Amino acid sequence: MKKKRENKSSRVKIICLISHRRVVARVKALAREVSRDYRGKNPLVLGILKGSFIFMADLVREMNIPVECGFIQASSYGRGTVSSGKVKIAGLEKLPIRDREIILVEDIIDTGLTLKEISWILKKNGAGKIKICALLDKPARRKADIHPDYLGFTVPDHFLVGFGLDWDEKYRELPYVGYIKK
Ligand code: IMP
Ligand code: MG
More confident call, 146 vs 77: 146
Cα 36 to Cα 58, 65, 68, 107, 129, distances in angstroms: 17, 8, 16, 22, 16
Name the residue range of residue 147's domain: 4-181
Distance 164 CA to ligand 1 centre (A): 11
Query: Which residue, by CA, sits nearest to atom 5 of ligand 1?
Result: 110
Distance 177 CA to ligand 2 centre (A): 14
To test the pocket of ligand 1, the residue of 15, 56, 107 to mutate (highest count of ligand atoms within 8 Å of its CB) is 107
* Nearest atom, ligand 1, residue 146 CA: 4
Q: CATH number, domain at 45?
A: 3.40.50.2020
| Domain total in the chain | 1
For 146-172, the pLDDT digits (tens) are: 999 999 999 999 999 999 999 999 999
Q: Of all residues in the chain, what percent carry a pLDDT higher than 90?
A: 81
Coil, strand or helix: which one is 181? coil
* pLDDT-based confidence at residue 78 (cuts at 50, 70, 90): low
In angstroms, rounded to a whole number, what is the distance separating the alpha carbons of residues 75 and 86? 8
Residue 10: the pLDDT is 55
The DSSP bridge partners found for residue 45 are 69, 103
* pLDDT-based confidence at residue 130 (cuts at 50, 70, 90): very high
Longest dimension (CA), the chain: 49
Q: What is the mean pLDDT of the chain?
A: 91
